Amino acid sequence: MTIQTPAWVKHAVFYQIFPDRFARTQRPLNHPAMAVTLEPWETPPTLSGYKGGDLWGVAENLDYLKDLGINAIYFTPIFQSACNHRYHTHDYYQVDPLLGGNEAFADLLTAAHDRGIRVVLDGVFNHASRGFFFFNDILENGPHSPWLEWFKIENWPLSAYDGAQPANYTSWVNNRALPQFNHANPAVREYIMQIGEHWIRQGIDGWRLDVPFEVQVPGFWEEFRDRIKAINPDAYIVGEIWKPAPEWLDGTKFDGVMNYVFAGPTMAFAAGDRVAMQYAEVPEYYPYPALDAAGYRSKIEALLALYPWEIQLTQLNLLSSHDIARALTVMGDDLASLALAVLLQMTFPGAPCIYYGDEVGLDGGLDPDCRKVFPPEKAWHQPLLAHHKALVALRHHYAALRTGSYTVWLTDGDLYGFKRELGDETLLVLVNAGQTAVPVDRAAYGELATDWRAVFGDLEVTSQKVIVPSRSGGILAQP
């Protein structure tokens, strides 16, 4: 079969936003549901507390994102929920009132689209919550509820809150706050399909699917794809799959996955033995052990061999997310390591995704610390922000960095070099993760035989050599 993926994703630079922590609106509000007591914005985040970021706040900062070069946003869940991360969905048709409700989302979507910024929402369709109406009816009415077959009830009585008693229903990872849908029930299946269709009709540009591997019903995600694409063939469907995922990326289910298989080796090469293992060992994406250039090449070429090229170009390439410690913290708070990783990310096939605040040096350990509020401008690391802006601009400027072929041509100790090529456009990327500058003899490499100029980084180009400074990298283009 011919695999088709959304063309726009190949040219996208995503920005992931955790809505409660990005920005509070500055506009005057007459919304009683938002007139509530919140945690102080500047204090450390807690597992249960709300900071009060909202969607009007995001809309007011779209020009900042546009200036950064962002043209797509992935939001973690925004639907009504009784938790700050909103993975405990109460109502899939209502945006959370603390975020401004459906009115705020409509305003945001219009403002984003007016700026050429796409919007992808998080679809939490494996499980609901204790507050989800259909499950709450079961808690109220027990075996008399009409919704029993929507969930996997095992015995009575249900214990939704008392951990000393068996829950007696199936929940995600045995978390009784997250009752799992019975996806084999045709009514449940249709309900979820209609949710997906509804928000596509409202104008969203795609779905990121939470733990889709938990849904074991044959044909479920194939039908979801068919129905979403029937409404908008350009909608992006990306799954949260942490491991190699060829069975999910055969053209019948998802357009891409959250590419943790890229994130782990990239940090292991960029940071080496600087990785802070207390932040890296629990999540299964392996930014360790330290890799030299040859080891990194092996990991990257194995990744590129996993999927068809059309799929490679629509992977979601991240370094941080709401589920792992921030890249800066994982890499030992070493800014040079983060800068190297971002260089590799922005020059790799697929859509790079910046987790909000990473571009200004926001740090953070494991949840909830990785979900800090976006810092005030006085706390921004301006050179790191400039580094992101420059690389994003180059990615937008050179088509070869978006859809060109990827060929490794140099591995020497901690020096890694690869080529992105499309038509008559060729770029060479050199990354030196080592502690000493490395001179590359141009006569020894055919790739360096023609004229080149540095378009990014501190590369020194002479007639005989290209010198790559320590803990640095750059991009060469032909004049």
Catalytic residues: 210, 240
The helix/strand/coil state of 148 is helix
Angle at 242 between CA 254 and CA 390, to 5 degrees: 85
User: Residues 148, 170: contact at Cβ < 8 Å?
Assistant: no
Which of 294, 331, 319, 239 lies closest to 410, judged by CA?
Answer: 294
- Three-state secondary structure readout of 178-242: CEEECCCCHHHHHHHHHHHHHHHHCCCCEEEECCHHHCCCCCHHHHHHHHHHHHCCCCEEEECCC
Whole-angstrom distance, CA of residue 48 vs CA of residue 84 = 6
Which of 381, 401, 380, 400 lies closest to 392, judged by CA?
Answer: 401
Cα distances from 439 to residues 183, 416, 433, 442, 469, in angstroms, run: 59, 13, 14, 9, 9
Whole-angstrom distance, CA of residue 271 vs CA of residue 20 = 30
Strand partners, 376: none
Burial of 428 (0-12, 13-18, 19+ CB in 10 A): buried
Q: 102-106 long-range CB contacts below 8 Å, 24 or more apart? A: 104/54, 104/55, 104/56, 104/59, 105/55, 105/78, 106/202
Read off the tokens for 9: 């994703």
Whole-angstrom distance, CA of residue 237 vs CA of residue 245 = 14
Which of 399, 379, 380, 376 lies closest to 389, judged by CA?
Answer: 380
User: Residues 207, 123: contact at Cβ < 8 Å?
Assistant: yes
Whole-angstrom distance, CA of residue 23 vs CA of residue 375 = 10
How would DSSP label each residue in 273-314? GG--HHHHSSSTT---S---HHHHHHHHHHHHTTS-HHHHTT
Which of 282, 316, 318, 125 lies closest to 211, judged by CA?
Answer: 125
